[in-house]
Amino acid sequence: MNLWKDYSRERLLRLREDCRAEYLEMKARGLALDMSRGKPSPDILDLSNGLLGALASYRAEDGTDTRNYGIPTGLSESRRLFSELLGIPADQIIVGNNASLELMYDFYAALYLFGTQGHAPWSKCAGVKFLCPSPGYDRHFAISAAFGTEMIPVPMTENGPDMDAVEALVQSDDSIKGIWCVPLYSNPQGVVYSDETVRRLAEMKTRAEDFRIFWDNAYGLHHVFEEHKIADILKLAAAAGNADRVYYFFSTSKVTFPGGGIGLAAASPANIAEQQKRISIRTIGSDKLNQLRFVQYFKTADAVRRHMRAIGDLLRPRFEIVLDTLDRELGGTGLATWIRPKGGYFVGIDTQEGCAKAVVALAKEAGTTLTSAGATFPHGKDPKDTNIRIAPTYPAESELRDAMRLFCLCVKCVSIDKFLANRTA
């Protein structure tokens, strides 16, 4: 190993000079790149352009005129197609409008407003808490924050949330009401929850009887390298007598178009029945034409899977650029660590302590916007200021090469400054 922190002061000063010169050179090129959010690139979106075409018919398979009111739980053929894709019984799926984030928000709000399966609503409970495996997805944490839920960070491992920590917490405190999970290709680290993690989540005893797992399978079909699978949490929970514990979410936002996708929720029959009643107060029916559009265009689960492989082919080179650049520029330096993502949309990187904010600021100065440092932790506060999320899906490959070179330079500059400051101090 050749750790930069062990370098002599002189060597660090020389490196600083080189890095700064290179940084200024890149800055002078006036880059204008945005890697802050997990947006699909135009070439990925183009793969779904067939969806912009005309609807062949407005009739559902059973003859229903989908132009009209009704069917608040979604078209049968659409529920069936997702059933096949996700391996969940069709009658345990509710297909809604654009965006599963909306469904997560609504399910969360319903727990707060009305409670579930006869349990008291959170609004009547003191100090409700929620587990937030971190680093995690900022928009999940934003929902918890909006409802004033106390967020408890739980460390992430290469197998998912640290289950010893999770079990100790849920078994000791009945105000811990749930946990946010992105089980396949987690945001931001691309971690795949191990079978044991999923089993323990499904089976663990919880002090709160109404404990809920918000299972956001956002990247359920988003393989990049190999095709990984996660264990079936709905089945495992049911087998363990915890059928109602899991709220499962998925959307086509990153299958077809974020600006015109379809969100869905899946859960136990009792939970679906409960939601069905609630949804029927809020709507007479979601956008069935859009559901039909998806089914008419893809027709079969296999066609969707082929389509996802084509998306994977466009994502893979981008991930390779990120990982190759990290390996080449930072490998063995000890300046940063990262888990190699197994798929999904992001790469999570940990800098030296206290460096992440400065790295993001320095990159911004040179025209490259990264996700705000800290965003991957509850309240946007990364206690060690180390985590940075890289979202490589939007830029073109050439831009991404520049952006990653710049990013690594920023890590070097900030780290060197820190090492030098520590020695002076």
Distance of CA 359 to the CA centre of its chain: 22
> CA 337, CA 156: separation in Å to the nearest integer?
14
> CA 147, CA 136: separation in Å to the nearest integer?
18
> CA 50, CA 307: separation in Å to the nearest integer?
12
Q: Which of 193, 248, 257, 346 binds its own copies (CB under 8 A)?
A: 257
Q: Which of 13, 52, 303, 396 binds its own copies (CB under 8 A)?
A: 52
Q: Note whether 286 binds its own copies by CB under 8 A.
A: yes
> CA 53, CA 296: separation in Å to the nearest integer?
11
Question: How would you class 367 by CB atoms within 10 Å of its CB: exposed for 0-12, middle for 13-18, buried for 19 or more?
Answer: middle
Q: Which of 134, 290, 351, 387 binds its own copies (CB under 8 A)?
A: 290
> CA 111, CA 106: separation in Å to the nearest integer?
9
Q: Which of 116, 253, 368, 387 binds its own copies (CB under 8 A)?
A: 253
Number of residues that bind its own copies (CB under 8 A): 52
Q: Which of 53, 155, 241, 269 binds its own copies (CB under 8 A)?
A: 53
Q: Note whether 101 binds its own copies by CB under 8 A.
A: yes
Q: Note whether 142 binds its own copies by CB under 8 A.
A: yes
Q: Note whether 278 binds its own copies by CB under 8 A.
A: yes
Q: Note whether 117 binds its own copies by CB under 8 A.
A: no
SS3 assignment, position 132: strand
Phi and psi angles of residue 338, each rounded to the nearest 5 degrees, phi first: -155, 150
Whole-number minimum distance, CB 280 to its own copies, in Å?
A: 8
CB nearer to its own copies: give 218 or 400.
Answer: 218
Per CB under 8 A, the segment of 199-207, 219-227, 283-291, 406-414 that binds its own copies is 283-291
Q: Print burial letters for 28-54: b (CB count within 10 Å at least 16), e (below 16).
A: eeebebebbbbbbbeebbebbeebeee
Per CB under 8 A, the segment of 58-66, 236-244, 319-327, 404-412 that binds its own copies is 58-66
Identify which of 170, 197, 167, 196 has the alpha carbon closest to the alpha carbon of residue 181.
Answer: 197
Q: Note whether 281 binds its own copies by CB under 8 A.
A: yes
Residues, the chain: 425
> CA 375, CA 385: separation in Å to the nearest integer?
10
**How many other CB atoms are there within 10 angstroms of residue 81's CB atom?**
23
Whole-number minimum distance, CB 66 to its own copies, in Å?
A: 5
Q: Which of 4, 23, 26, 39 binds its own copies (CB under 8 A)?
A: 39
Q: Are 76 and 292 in contact (CB under 8 A)?
A: no
Q: Which of 3, 21, 24, 113 binds its own copies (CB under 8 A)?
A: 113
CB nearer to its own copies: give 7 or 105.
Answer: 105
CB nearer to its own copies: give 142 or 231.
Answer: 142
Whole-number minimum distance, CB 294 to its own copies, in Å?
A: 12
Interface with its own copies (CB under 8 A): 37, 39-40, 42, 45, 48-49, 52-55, 58, 65-70, 97-99, 101-102, 105-106, 109, 112-114, 123, 139, 142-143, 146-147, 253, 257-261, 278, 281-290
